Structure 1
Amino acid sequence: MIPVRGFDEQVVAVLGLGRSGLAAARALQAGGAAPVVWDDGAEGRARAEAEGFTLRDLTRPGAFEDVACLVTSPGIPHLFPKPNPVIHAALEAGVPVDNDIGLFFRSFATQDWDQFDALPKVVTVTGSNGKSTTSALIHHCLTHTGRNSQLAGNIGRGVLDIDPPENGGVVVLELSSYQTDLARALTPDIAVFTNLSPDHLDRHGGMGGYFAAKRRLFAEGGPDRAVIGVDEEPGLFLAGQMAEGPGDDRVIRVSVARKLAGPGWNVHARKGFLSETRKGRQLASIDLRPISGLPGTHNHQNACAAYGALRALGLPPRTIEAGFASFGGLAHRSQTIAEINGVRYVNDSKATNVDSAAQALKAFKRIRWIAGGLGKDGGIGGLGAELGNVEKAYLIGHSARDFALQLPDTPHEICETLEVAVARAADDATPGDTVLLAPAAASFDQFPDFEKRGEAFIALVGTLRFPD
Structure 2
Amino acid sequence: MIPVQGYSGAKVSVLGLGRSGLATARALREGGAEAVCWDDNPTARETAEGEGFVCRDLSRHGAFEDIASLIVSPGIPHLYPEPNPVVAAALEAGVPVDNDIGLFFRSFATRQWDSFETMPKVVAVTGSNGKSTTSALIHHVLSEAGRRTQLAGNIGRGVLDIEPAEDGDVVVLELSSYQTDLARSLTPDIAVFTNLSPDHLDRHAGMGGYFAAKRRLFAEGGPDRAVIGVDEIEGKYLAGQLSEGAADDRVMRVSTERKLTGVGWNVFARKGYLSEYRKGRQAGSIDLRAIKGLPGAHNHQNACAAYAVCRALGLAPRVIEAGFASFGGLPHRSQIIAEQDGVTFVNDSKATNVDAAKNALSAFKNIRWICGGLEKEGGLGDLAENAAGVKKAYVIGREAASFAMQLKGVEAEVCTDMETAVAKAAAEAESGDTVLLAPAAASFDQYNSFETRGEDFAACVADALK
Distance in 1 separating the partners of 2:451 and 2:325: 25
Match of 2:343 in 1: 343
**What secondary structure, in the 3-state scheme, does the structure 2 residue paired with 1:167 have?**
coil
Give yes or no for contact 2:272–2:289 (8 Å, CA) kept in 1: yes
Specify the alignment match of 1:411 in structure 2: 411
Preserved CA contact (<8 Å) 1:379 1:402 = no
Aligned structure 1 segments of 4 or more residues deviating by more than 6 angstroms: none
Shift of 1:294: 0.2
| Contact kept? 1:252, 1:264, Cα under 8 Å | yes
Distance in 1 of aligned mates of 2:41 and 2:463 = 38
Are 1:272 and 2:272 an aligned pair? yes
Q: How does 1:195-214 map to 2 (within 5 A)?
A: 195-214=195-214
Contact residue 379 and residue 403 of structure 1 kept, 8 A: no
The reply on whether 1:53 has 2:53 as its aligned counterpart is yes
Tell me if structure 1 keeps the 8 A contact 2:384–2:408. no
Please name the residue that 2:383 is paired with.
383
Map 1:167-246 → 2, pairs under 5 A: 167-246=167-246
Could you report, residue by residue, the CA deviation over 1:150-203 in whole angstroms, capped at 9, with x for unpaired residues? 000000000000001111011000000000001000000000000000111111
Equivalent pair of 1:137/1:303 in contact (CA under 8 Å): yes
The yes-or-no answer on 1:86 pairing with 2:77 is no
| CA distance, structure 2, for counterparts of residue 71 and residue 326 of structure 1 | 39
Determine the C-alpha separation between the residues in 1 that align with 2:408 and 2:28.
56
Q: Which runs of 5+ in 1 are unaligned?
A: none
8 A contact 2:72–2:97 mirrored in 1: yes
Letter in 1 for 2:188: P
Could you tell me how far apart the structure 1 residues matched to 2:54 and 2:376 are?
40
Shift of 1:377: 2.9
Counterpart of 1:160 in structure 2 is 160
Give the deviation of 1:464 after TM superposition.
Answer: 3.3
> 1:20, CA displacement in angstroms?
0.8
Distance in 1 separating the partners of 2:400 and 2:81: 28
CA drift at 1:365? 0.6
Aligned to 2:363: 363
For the residues of structure 2 that align with 1:341 and 1:415, how far apart are their CA atoms? 24
Matches of 2:165 and 2:140, distance apart in 1: 17
The alpha-carbon deviation at position 44 of structure 1 amounts to 1.2
Q: Report the CA distance between 1:362 and its aligned residue.
A: 0.4
Aligned CA distance change for structure 1 residues 186 and 378 (closer, same or farther; 3 Å): closer
Deviation at 1:398, TM superposition (A): 1.5
Structure 1 CA distance, aligned partners of 2:287 and 2:39?
50
Evaluate the alpha carbon distance shift between residue 250 and residue 408 of structure 1 in structure 2; reply closer, same or farther with a 3 A threshold. Answer: closer
Matching residue's letter, 1:423:
A
TM-score by length of 1: 0.98
1:142 and 1:149 in contact (8 A); partners too: yes
SS in 1 for 2:308: helix
Letter in structure 1 aligned against 2:246: P
- Secondary structure in 1 matching 2:69: strand
After superposition, the CA RMSD in angstroms is: 0.9
CA contact (8 A) 2:384 2:409 kept: no
- Do the aligned partners of 1:375 and 1:398 also contact (CA within 8 Å) in 2? no
Residue 25 of structure 2 corresponds to 25
The equivalent residue for 2:116 is 116
Q: Show the counterpart of 1:332.
A: 332
Q: Runs of 5+ in structure 2 lacking a partner?
A: none
Distance in 2 of aligned mates of 1:95 and 1:378: 36
Is residue 2:36 matched to residue 1:3?
no
d(CA) in 2 for partners of 1:70 and 1:326? 43
- State how far apart, in whole Å, the 1-side matches of 2:375 and 2:78 are: 25
Equivalent residues of 1:188, 1:223 under 8 A apart? yes
- Taking the aligned partners of 2:155 and 2:420, their CA distance within structure 1 comes to 31
- State the alpha-carbon separation in 2 of the partners of residues 125 and 287 from structure 1: 24
Deviations 1:304-354 (A, max 9, x none): 000111111111100000000000000000001111000010000011111
TM-score (norm 2): 0.99
Alignment of 1:38-77 (within 5 A): 38-77=38-77
